[in-house]
Amino acid sequence: MRGGRSVKKVGVVAAGGALLVVGVLLLVLPGPGLLLVLAGLVVLASEFPALERYVDPVRDRAMKAAEDSVASPLRLAGSVLAGLLLIAAGVVWGLVESLPFSGWSTGSSLVLSGLVLLGLLVWSYRRVRAKAGGGSRT
């Protein structure tokens, strides 16, 4: 059974590490950087309990950032535009062979990033509306 535990630990470290690294990279871009950092920390904390002390402070900041991203119509419109531009850029990168790093490997990652951004915006918007309306949806 020790082998199964090692495989699980490697999988958790790989998944959590990937989420954490991508989240840190996305902190400088319009997107769900802090939420991915939080997801990476939660996954890693399942194997490394010492990391649990970082989860709550990052969760608080991530939730505040999610709420701020949909706090005004201008911010919401800018974020939606960024998501749509990422999707459009992904399609262009997938179809136009003369672009650097062209192909669907680059294009699909851009499309996926745009879809994740739009999905998280919908989640944030619904969360803020439920909070403002006194609802219990989270």
Q: What is the pLDDT of residues 98-129, one digit of tens each?
A: 988 889 988 998 898 889 888 888 888 888 88
Single-letter amino acid code for the residue at 118: L
Asked if 37 contacts 17 with a C-beta cutoff of 8 angstroms, the reply is no
User: Residue 59's Cα: distance from chain center in Å?
Assistant: 13
Share of the chain above pLDDT 90, in %: 23
- Which pairs with CB-CB distance under 8 Å and at least 24 residues apart come from 3-11? 9/47
Measured from the Cβ of residue 77, the count of other Cβ atoms closer than 10 Å reads 10
The residue with greater pLDDT, 137 or 25, is 25
Query: Between residues 37 and 134, which one has the greater pLDDT?
Result: 37
Q: Residue 78: CA atoms inside 13 Å, Cβ hemisphere, count?
A: 11
User: pLDDT category, 88, cuts 50, 70, 90?
Assistant: very high
Q: d(Cα 61, Cα 58) in Å, to the nearest integer?
A: 5
Neighbours of 45 (CB within 10 A): 17
Question: At 137, is the pLDDT very low, low, confident or very high (cuts 50, 70, 90)?
Answer: very low
Inform me whether the pLDDT recorded for 32 exceeds 70: no
Indicate the pLDDT class of residue 89, thresholds 50, 70 and 90. very high
